[in-house]
């Protein structure tokens, strides 16, 4: 396995740190092995043998898998890690080059956090003022909020599968609301039946 380190001087912050699916800033064990010039399996073993508490490990290290193109798409394990996880991992990496890489990574985490905070401050303003208890729906693209809007107190955000279960909740809807829902459903069913009859 290649253990030649990749130069970090020309790396952008976004080459080192990225936003995870849970919207946290992370790096991963593959990048760490590449920039520190270590075998990836050695970095994985070091992470597994860190000796930190389970709580710290759960907060700062996430086991993931990705396809390995060199092994016919076989899943390759890797760890995503937060800034704290990264610092804990590389504490024992010594030497001038390791110090340079650690410093560059810490700067990258800080720069990416600043960019994320700036984008969050630039959130589109909702169309009406928000109270302290307002529920808000956010549209997130590539880990960044691109739209926000308040959710009315009587609104539901529910999957189609869960809708029937909600309708069966005894105290959720009044008789009038249930009658209105039944009328709308019946009307829509009649329209669908007519459209189906025209096709046949």
194 with 174, same domain: the answer is yes
Tracing tokens 């107190």 back to the chain, one arrives at 153
Our count of domains for the chain comes to 3
21 with 77, same domain: the answer is yes
72 with 143, same domain: the answer is no
Tracing tokens 């999957």 back to the chain, one arrives at 159
Does residue 19 form part of some domain? yes
131 with 173, same domain: the answer is no
Tracing tokens 């110090």 back to the chain, one arrives at 99
137 with 182, same domain: the answer is no
Does residue 103 form part of some domain? yes
Does residue 171 form part of some domain? yes
Cα distances (Å, whole numbers) of residue 167 to 92, 164, 184 = 58, 5, 14
Name 75's bridge partners. 67
Does residue 4 form part of some domain? no
Please spell the DSSP secondary structure of 2-31, one letter per residue. --PPPPSTT--HHHH-EE-TTS-EEEEHHH
Q: Please state whether 72 falls in left (phi above 0), alpha (psi between -120 and 50) or beta.
A: left
112 with 19, same domain: the answer is yes
Q: What is the mean pLDDT of each run of 10 residues along the chain (200 residues)?
A: 64 89 90 94 95 93 83 83 95 91 93 83 60 68 69 72 72 78 85 82
140 with 166, same domain: the answer is no
What's the whole-model pTM score?
Answer: 0.56
pLDDT for res 1: 46
Q: Which two tokens stand for residue 121?
A: 């401050």
Domain of residue 69, residue span: 13-121
pLDDT for res 2: 47
């Amino acid at each position: 396995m290649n253990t030649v380190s990749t130069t970090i001087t020309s790396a952008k912050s976004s080459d080192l740190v990225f936003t995870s699916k849970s919207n946290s800033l992370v790096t991963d064990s593959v990048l760490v092995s590449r920039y520190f010039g270590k075998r990836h399996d050695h970095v994985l073993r070091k992470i597994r043998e860190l000796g930190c508490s389970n709580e710290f490990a759960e907060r700062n290290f996430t086991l993931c898998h990705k396809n390995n193109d060199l092994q016919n798409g076989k899943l390759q394990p890797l760890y995503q890690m937060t800034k704290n996880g990264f610092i804990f991992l590389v504490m024992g990496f010594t030497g001038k080059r390791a110090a340079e890489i650690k410093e560059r990574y810490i700067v990258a985490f800080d720069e990416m956090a600043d960019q994320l905070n700036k984008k969050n401050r630039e959130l589109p303003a909702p169309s009406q003022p928000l109270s302290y208890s307002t529920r808000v729906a956010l549209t997130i693209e590539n880990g960044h909020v691109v739209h926000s809007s308040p959710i009315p107190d009587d609104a539901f955000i529910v999957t189609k599968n869960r809708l029937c279960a909600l309708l069966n909740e005894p105290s959720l809807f009044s008789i009038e609301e249930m009658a209105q829902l039944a009328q709308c459903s019946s009307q829509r069913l009649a329209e669908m039946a007519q459209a189906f009859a025209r096709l046949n």
